[in-house]
Structure 1
Amino acid sequence: MRKKYLTVVVLLALVGLVAGCIGLGRYEGKQTLMKKISAREEFVLQTFNGYVTIASSEDDNIHLEITKMARGDDQAKLKEFLEKEIYVDLIENDSKVEVKVKRPSFFPLSIMTAGVNFKVKIPNSTVSNINNKTSNDFVEVKDFSRRINVVSSNGHIELENVNGIMDVVTSNGRVTGNDIAGIIAVESKNGFINIEASDQGLLEVTLSTSNSSIIFRSPIDINGTYNLKTSNGRIIMEVPSDSKMDVTAETSNGSISCELQHTKRLLTDDIIKLIVNGGGAIVNLETSNSDIEIRGW
């Protein structure tokens, strides 16, 4: 009898929890900021529980579309919380432009979660370095020719038509790049990496993840360096058939294959040296429990 009683109590508690979650409302507060700036070394933006999209603007102004959001069971309290506890400001000094986000020091019981989304447009000719950090959502950067540092947790990162020096760090999220050039370093945990370069190609590449695969497609610079490393995931490298490379490939419990003209030298049971089309660029490929493939086009 006691066991049945406990079961009924647990079920009622779960029903109450689900009903409470379903009853949660969402409130959004919109804000826009625009400011004309002179040349600066750095643009800095750090937010929380929200996505960030960054693109180039068509004028000399920085444009910010800001969405403050919160979830809870009382719309009036949500609105008051966003207005009083979260605010955004755009600050300029001699070396940088910074978006300041005031984050609440605590959340009342009536507020389940809150965060801030940003849509940003920045003059390509004005800012030489972009630093962005967020959590629990994605970051997207498009149409830029600058140095870019992006950090996210529990969210994916997308780069499109970017030419410059790119440093990308995320956890539990994928990283994709399309039509990019320059130098790129990607560090992910438990996230798939897929990078496709522009016709210009990439000179230096470091791609690192775990428990997922890496796909990399790019023209190869004979003086370039390309390091791809994962664990428990496949590595696929797609390059022009005439690419000149010195490849060191290492895997365990997997195969290593190369479609391009090459000579092969066994270094150990798990490590193979490939001299492709006479050698050139330095390429290091490493995984475990999966395959490594070099494909030509």
Structure 2
Amino acid sequence: MKKVIVTLLAICAAFSMSAQKIKVDPKMKVKVTPDLKMTMGPDFEIDLGAHIEEAMSSIDGMFGMGFGDSGDKWEEKYQQDTEELEIPLSKPGEKGKLQVESHNGTVKVSAYSGPTVKVKMIKYSKKVERESGKDGMRLLSSGGFNVEAEERNNTVKIETEGWNNRIDFEIQVPANFSLDVQTYNNGAIEIEGVNGEHSIESYNGPITLNNISGSASASTYNGEVKATFSAVTANAPMIFTTYNGNVDLTVPAGTKFSTKMKTFKDIFTDFENFALQKATPQKSKEGNGYKVKYEDWVEGKLNGGGAEVTMETRNGNIYIRKG
């Protein structure tokens, strides 16, 4: 148990030091001495300084880049290596599907007029050192990166292995392609001009869908979800969710859908023909008792209603715009 507490305190201190501050809750019986030792009781003293370097290293591994690096310092420390490949399709000219799973890095997918799938990979790694350090060693290489790509029956799968090395993808697909894209760390996703059924998921990064058509579901934890449709498939349910950020949806003027929306902030629209519905309670009997529950969803219908579109954010506004 003490080991867990030590690790958590060290990680918190590492984050605090990156901001050049150490904050201690005055209500806690915690004392930080000038030599970074922390006393939590008469029998429990932590040499916090001894653990910070290890915690910083762990955080560096989790996010695949130098902790606290920014701006020119980050560019000086990391180099970019680019690889490109072209994947032929079994049925050129017919509809296809792209599946991408990236553990660390951004993904951009755009439509083009060609018959193949073109993939550009940008790998970030620490720059090779020309001079030896204090221990007589110099950095020769930060290792390679593993990417697997395969095509079967017009379905293209691309997957990266490992979390430490960041790889950004820039992918071109034929216009009629459905997408299934998942990212994790540094995982901003941008889709441009693709027509299909899209499932887009990021854990840490915004999602931007520009000039797409068809249907989509998009979900992230950190970042805005912004989707702009040139055409929406009728009767196709869609979901757009985030925890930290706005949900911003633009659809053509004649689009019809019914919607459930949830936010702790505000909801905006420039549609005239958007009608809100009165919230209805959920009633149930429980044994000899009776229960009534109001959910904090806002329900409405655009242009008379249609397939259900769910929009949810905890820390952001919801926008429904006329395209």
TM-score interval, normalised by the smaller of the two chains: 0.5 to 0.7
Pick the aligned partner of 2:162 from 74, 87, 103.
103
Residues 55 and 142, structure 1, Cα contact 8 Å, conserved in 2: yes
Cα distance in structure 1, aligned partners of 2:109 and 2:239:
19
Change (3 A) 1:292 1:60: closer
Indicate conservation of the 8 Å contact 2:202/2:220, yes or no.
Answer: yes
Question: Pick from 224, 231, 239: which aligns with 1:181?
Answer: 231
Match of 2:35 in 1: 6
> Which of 45, 62, 71 lines up with 2:117 in the alignment?
62
Residue number in structure 2 paired with 1:132: 181
Q: 1:31 aligns with which of 60, 75, 83?
A: 83
| Distance in structure 2 (CA, Å) of the matches to 1:4 and 1:271 | 50
Structure 1 SS opposite 2:142: helix
Distance 2:228 2:67 in 1: 43
Within 1, Cα distance between the matches of 2:260 and 2:166?
A: 36
Distance in 2 of aligned mates of 1:100 and 1:294: 34
What SS does structure 2 have at the residue aligned with 1:80? Answer: coil
Secondary structure of the equivalent of 1:134?
Answer: strand
1:71 deviates by 3.9
Structure 2 contact 119–169 (Cα < 8 Å) conserved = yes
Partner of 1:46: 101
Q: Find the aligned partners of 2:226 and 2:319 in 1 and give their Cα distance.
A: 19
**Which of these residues, 166, 169, 193, is aligned with residue 118 of structure 1?**
169
Number of aligned residue pairs: give it: 238
- 4+ residue runs of structure 1 moved beyond 3 angstroms? 7-11, 17-24, 71-82, 270-276, 282-296
Distance in 2 between residues matched to 1:87 and 1:66, nearest whole Å = 11
Q: Which residue of 2 aligns with 1:204?
A: none
Partner of 1:235: 267
**Is residue 93 from structure 1 mapped to residue 123 from structure 2 by the alignment?**
no
The answer to whether the 8 Å contact 2:86/2:117 transfers is yes
Q: CA, structure 1 residues 19+199, in 2 after alignment: closer, same or farther (shift >3 Å)?
A: closer
Aligned to 2:217: 167
Report the CA distance shift for 1:244/1:81 in structure 2 as closer, same or farther (over 3 A): closer
State the alpha-carbon separation in 1 of the partners of residues 202 and 316 from structure 2.
27
Cα-Cα RMSD: 4.6
Relative distance call for 1:19 and 1:145 in structure 2 (3 A) is closer
The gaps in structure 1 that reach 5 residues or longer are 105-112, 202-220, 251-267
Q: CA deviation at 1:161?
A: 0.6
Q: Partners in 2 of 1:19 and 1:101 — Cα distance?
A: 22
The answer to whether the Cα contact below 8 Å between 2:182 and 2:201 also exists between their aligned partners in 1 is: yes
1:194 matched residue in structure 2 = 248
SS of equivalent residue, structure 1 residue 44: strand
Q: Distance in 1 between matches of 2:165 and 2:260?
A: 39
C-alpha distance in structure 1 between counterparts of 2:68 and 2:316, whole Å: 45
Q: 1:132 to 1:180 in 2, by over 3 A?
A: same
The answer for the alignment partner of 1:158 in structure 2 is: 208
The question of whether the paired residues in 2 share the 8 Å contact of 1:27 and 1:78 is answered with no
Residues 157-192 of structure 1, C-alpha deviation per residue, up to 9 Å, x if partnerless?
001111111011100211112244325311211221
- The one-character-per-residue Cα deviations of 1:63-92 (angstroms, maximum 9, x if unpaired) are 111101134785898773343xx1323211
Structure 1 residue identity aligned to 2:87: K
TM, length-normalised to structure 1: 0.63
Instruction: Determine if contact 2:99/2:158 at 8 Å carries over to the other structure.
Output: yes
Deviation at 1:115, TM superposition (A): 1.1
- Bigger mean CA deviation after superposition, 156-165 or 71-80: 71-80
Cα-to-partner distance string for 1:189-213 (whole Å, 9 max, x where unaligned): 1221111113453xxxxxxxxxxxx
Q: 1:49 to 1:42 in 2, by over 3 A?
A: same
- Rate the CA distance shift 1:97–1:294 in 2: closer, same or farther, 3 A: closer
* % same residue: 17
Taking the aligned partners of 1:134 and 1:291, their CA distance within structure 2 comes to 23
Aligned pairs for 1:191-270 within 5 A: 191-201=245-255, 221=256, 224-230=257-263, 232-239=264-271, 241=272, 243=273, 245=275, 247-248=277-278
Maintained 8 Å contact 1:174/1:193: yes
1:81 lines up with 2:110 in the alignment: no
Q: Distance in 1 between matches of 2:105 and 2:316?
A: 35
